[in-house]
Amino acid sequence: MFTKNDLIHAIKNMGICHTDTLLIHSSMKAIGEVEGGADTVLDAFMEYLSEGLLLLPTHTWANMSETYNRFDSDKEPSCVGLLSNLFMKRPGVVRSLHPTHSMAAYGKDSKEYIKGEEAVTTPCAEGGCYDRLRARNGKILLLGVTHARNTFMHSVEEVLRVPERFTEHPVRFEIVMPDGSIKESQVYRHFNKMSAHISENYDKLAEAFYDCNAAKKVTFGNADCILCDANGIFEVMKKVLAHEINCLIEREVIPKIWWSEKN
């Protein structure tokens, strides 16, 4: 059984700094038995990043629809795991107002970081919460999951204008604002006619990320993890997609020469 000290030691061994901005996609089950359970996992990350910024996705894309379309950040549960649901309810944690791809934040300038998400029209908009990781030299920890859960890659595709990623028309949502008023929002959903879940194709770039030092293998408890550099992920994707903009959907294998130093 892992203790909080064991987990803090694991975070340090990854090369994460106390001042880092860190986004975590997670599988609690993959970690194994922890003394105190999921709360201890959150305690470890929140204490270690006491001078930084800790981010967890609190997505609701599986819940929200054309008929169930009112998003209340204080009440709507996350559809992406136990840790995200516990985290967003903790004292000092704030949650963005994106109706399908909200994010919870804790630490320095957390309120400023998540600001303005009620005004975007796509899941991971350019300049939004996910894209902001680049300006902060942020890191992404895939804790017991793979790039198929790496939402930052959606934001890279948005910045690079990858086609055929959204529904033809936006969905109308209602967002409950902090003062209780209702803001209407029109947001496109992720969609591709060739792939039911676009993100399932993202693991095709795993080798490229390792080769270019944009990601490395680490461990946390029993979980096999991937620690990513946001800017590194962006640059590798930019280089690969320059050869064929929709290669993640249209190709089974991505040619290594597309990201090699010689090319």
- Using one digit for the tens of pLDDT, what is the confidence trace for 21-55? 999 999 999 999 999 999 999 999 999 999 999 99
Q: What integer best gives the mean pLDDT of the chain?
A: 96
Sign of the alpha-carbon torsion through 22, 85, 62, 187:
negative
Q: According to the model, what pLDDT value does residue 140 have? A: 98
Q: According to the model, what pLDDT value does residue 108 have? A: 87
To the nearest 10 degrees (0 to 180), the angle between helices 152-159 and 230-241 is 50
Task: Please state, for a pLDDT cut of 90, what percent of the chain lies above it.
Answer: 95
Taking residues 180-186, report their average pLDDT: 98
DSSP secondary-structure letter at 166? B
Q: Which two tokens stand for residue 11?
A: 């975070």
Stronger pLDDT, 30 or 262, i.e. the higher one: 30
Q: Does residue 263 surpass a pLDDT of 50? A: no
Q: According to the model, what pLDDT value does residue 196 have? A: 77
Give the start-end residues of each E strand in 27-170.
Answer: 53-57, 70-71, 94-95, 103-107, 139-143
Predicted TM-score (pTM) of this structure: 0.97
- Using one digit for the tens of pLDDT, what is the confidence trace for 241-253? 999 999 999 999 9
- Using one digit for the tens of pLDDT, what is the confidence trace for 209-237? 999 999 999 999 999 999 999 999 999 99
- Using one digit for the tens of pLDDT, what is the confidence trace for 147-171? 999 999 999 999 999 999 999 999 9
Instruction: Determine contact, residues 256/210, Cβ cutoff 8 Å.
Output: no
CA 245 to chain CA centroid, nearest Å: 22
Q: According to the model, what pLDDT value does residue 262 have? A: 57
Instruction: Determine contact, residues 132/15, Cβ cutoff 8 Å.
Output: no
- Within 10 Å of residue 252's Cβ, how many Cβ atoms? 7
- Using one digit for the tens of pLDDT, what is the confidence trace for 108-156? 899 999 999 999 999 999 999 999 999 999 999 999 999 999 999 999 9
